[in-house]
Amino acid sequence: MLKGFREFILRGNVIDLAVAVVIGAAFTAVVNSIVTNVINPAIGAIFNAEDLSKTLDVTVPTTSGGEAHIVFGAVLAALLNFLIVAAVVYFALVLPVNYLLKKVFAARNEPKTEEQPSAPSELELLGQIRDLLAADQAAHHGKHADDAEPAAAPDGATPATPAST
């Protein structure tokens, strides 16, 4: 039972996920600090409030004689926080990774520029086979390959001799 648990914990996906959660929490703290300490006070100054989360406060009377507060500024602060996080994630992570992946896959799919030697044609191959057979036949009959006469074609015609190379 412990062996299975150890394998589960040490599996690559679990470790990657744990690292992502920790980095995400640290990243969220940084973004929240920027929004809370820089952006909210700047926008709150526009609305004459301490920060954005205290602006656009609407007081609504309740049926019991009390008051309820609807704080639209807090909703705007959360929405702004989300947009900032989304923009940073997109421009700092998604865009560069997509660019790198595009470059890597483009390099893999690029055609090879090396020139491959052209394969001999069928006629050249047949000529080489004929020459090898003639040389082999001459060796068995005690003649030199140069002295061998070309074999007659099946239809009785004499085959053309290949040009010397």
Could you give the number of structural domains in the chain? 2
CA 45, 49, 53, 57 dihedral sign is: negative
**Res 146: pLDDT:** 53
| Cβ atoms within 10 Å of 162's Cβ, excluding its own | 14
**Would you give per-residue pLDDT tens digits along the chain (165 residues)?**
788 877 776 776 777 788 888 888 888 888 778 777 887 777 777 777 777 777 788 888 988 989 998 888 888 878 887 887 788 778 877 888 889 888 888 877 766 666 667 888 889 889 999 999 999 898 888 755 455 555 555 555 555 555 544
Distance in angstroms (rounded) separating the CA atoms of residues 45 and 43: 5
Q: Do 100 and 145 fall within a single domain?
A: no
Write the CA distances from 105 to 92, 97, 101, 112, integer angstroms.
Answer: 21, 12, 6, 14
What single-letter amino acid sits at 128?
A: Q
Q: Do 74 and 133 fall within a single domain?
A: no
Q: Which residues in 17-73 belong to E strands, given as ranges? A: 57-61, 67-71
CATH number at residue 69: 1.10.1200.120
- Is residue 159, in this structure, part of any structural domain at all? no
Q: Do 16 and 73 fall within a single domain?
A: yes
Q: Do 55 and 128 fall within a single domain?
A: no
**Domain that residue 140 falls in:** 121-152
Residue 96, both tokens: 């560069």
Distance of CA 13 to the CA centre of its chain: 18
Q: Do 101 and 126 fall within a single domain?
A: no
| 58 contacts 69 by C-beta, under 8 angstroms | yes
| Cβ atoms within 10 Å of 27's Cβ, excluding its own | 16
